[in-house]
Each structure stands twice: as C-alpha cells, then as structure tokens.
C-alpha cells in the first residue's frame, strides 16, 4: 500500500473507538508506506485523544472508554516511538522526565520524551506518579540539565510547585532548568510557579529545551 492509498483518518477513528488492533495495523501499513510519523501523531492520533477528552467531558464517554482509547493510543505510539527517537550521535543534554505525584497519565509525557530523544537529548524517564523527592534524587544522580514535569489533572498540576521548590532548594541543581506541560498547564501558570519554560506540545518542548541549554 502506498501513502496515497492509505486512509489515515481510519487511525483517528480506531483510536477514538479504542480499537487497538486496527490502530496498530494502520500504523504498521503507514510505516511500510514511509508516511512521516509526525503526521500520524499530530494529524490523527492527538486529535483523536482530544475528541475522546471532549466526549468524556460531555458525558458521552466514561472511564472505560478513556482507558481503551488510551490503550489504543499507547499501542500505536509504541510502534512510532523508535522512529520519533531515531537519535543523533552525541547527547546534547540530559533530561529527567516524569508525570507528577498522583497522576497516572503518561501518553503526552512519553511523546515529549521520544521527541526530545529524537532531537539528541538523553532521557531518564521516571514514569508516572513521581514524588518531588524522586525527581530531585534522580536529577542529582544523573546530573540532569533539565527536569521536565507533566501533569494532566488540575489537582495534580499543583504538585508542580512542590517539585520546583524541592529542586530550587538544592545548590547542586542550581543550573538545572525546569520545564512543564500537560493539558491544564499554561504559560501563565508556568510563570506563576517559577518554571523556566512551558510548551503546549512535544515539538515546542524540543525548541524550549534547546533554547534553555543554549542560553
């Protein structure tokens, strides 16, 4: 199958209805047809998750639908992540990344990690539900240049402030930059908690990380 005969909107549909095997099949066909992985992620997969969120908010979807859509998204993303992360030679900086305490959402965080890795950063991914102490400990251990925090809930977004305070307390992490993101996070919030940067998406996270390290 070639790119022109592939109907990529089927990927949007598959994720929206949580059909993991259809999503995987379409992504495999798209990879075989050399479709740009970014086009799949930003053109179909993220918009599908946005629509899942809209339906959840409107009371049309419930937690089981969120779960199966999330599973379809993760399965499809796992096939694309090696392509997104095809890396350069020398790491240009080290990033400790994780989703903050109390928060189990990891799809966006994973995407940011893959894009940063693809741009040549070394990634230490701490996973989800990460405490401020763990961020600090791993940042010290790995001599991180950047700590990247993801939060998807308005409640857990508040823990960002705790992580920033914990990092700023440590002299050895003086030069370490903190970037934040996730659906409820805004530039205004980032400014109010003293983060070094914010981006609403994974591409922007790469630009931001590069800018912070070159400054």
Please, what's the b/e burial string for 95-123 (b: 16 or more CB within 10 A of its CB; e: otherwise)?
bbbbbbbebebbbbbbbbbbbbbbbbbbb
| Residue number with CB closer to ligand B12 (56 or 82) | 56
Query: How far is Cα 43 from Cα 5, in angstroms, rounded to an integer?
Result: 17
Give the DSSP H or E segment for 100.
none
Count Cβ atoms below 10 Å from residue 46 Cβ, excluding itself: 19
Minimum Å gap between C-beta 4 and ligand B12 is 27
Minimum Å gap between C-beta 78 and ligand B12 is 12
| Residue number with CB closer to ligand B12 (21 or 200) | 200
| Residue number with CB closer to ligand B12 (30 or 107) | 107
Q: Which residue, chain included where needed, has tokens 């020398």?
A: 90
Q: In this structure, are residues 198 and 180 in contact, taking their beta carbons and an 8 Å threshold?
A: yes
Minimum Å gap between C-beta 85 and ligand B12 is 14
Q: Which chain residues interact with ligand B12 by CB under 6 A?
A: 46, 49-50, 52-53, 56-57, 63, 66-67, 70, 74, 102-109, 111-112, 148-150, 152-154, 179-184, 199-202, 205
| Residue number with CB closer to ligand B12 (30 or 61) | 61
Minimum Å gap between C-beta 145 and ligand B12 is 13
Minimum Å gap between C-beta 157 and ligand B12 is 8
What angle is formed at CA 195 by the lines to CA 190 and CA 201, rounded to 5 degrees? 60
Query: How far is Cα 44 from Cα 131, in angstroms, rounded to an integer?
Result: 33
User: Which residues, 6 or more positions from 193, have their beta carbon under 8 angstroms from its beta carbon?
Assistant: 160, 161, 164, 180
List the one residue out of 32, 10, 31 whose CA is nearest residue 21.
10
| Residue number with CB closer to ligand B12 (30 or 178) | 178
Minimum Å gap between C-beta 202 and ligand B12 is 4
| Residue number with CB closer to ligand B12 (7 or 50) | 50
């Amino acid at each position: 199958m070639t790119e022109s005969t592939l109907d990529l909107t089927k990927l949007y549909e598959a994720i929206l209805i949580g059909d993991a095997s259809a999503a995987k099949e379409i992504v495999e066909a798209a990879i075989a047809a050399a479709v740009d992985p970014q086009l799949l992620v930003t053109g179909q997969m993220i918009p599908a998750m946005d629509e899942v969120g809209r339906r959840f908010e409107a009371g049309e979807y419930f937690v089981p639908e969120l779960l199966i859509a999330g599973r379809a998204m993760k399965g499809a993303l796992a096939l694309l992540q090696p392509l997104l992360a095809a890396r350069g030679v020398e790491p240009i900086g080290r990033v400790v990344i994780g989703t903050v305490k109390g928060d189990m959402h990891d799809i966006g965080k994973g995407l940011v990690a893959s894009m940063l890795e693809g741009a040549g950063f070394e990634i230490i991914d701490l996973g989800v539900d990460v405490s401020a102490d763990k961020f600090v400990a791993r940042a010290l251990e790995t001599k991180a240049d950047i700590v990247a925090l993801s939060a998807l809930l308005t409640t857990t977004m508040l823990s960002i402030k705790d992580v920033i305070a914990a990092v700023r307390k440590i002299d050895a992490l003086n030069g370490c930059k903190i970037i934040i993101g996730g659906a409820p996070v805004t530039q205004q919030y980032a400014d109010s908690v003293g983060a070094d940067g914010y981006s609403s998406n994974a591409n922007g996270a790469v630009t931001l990380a590069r800018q912070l390290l070159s400054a």
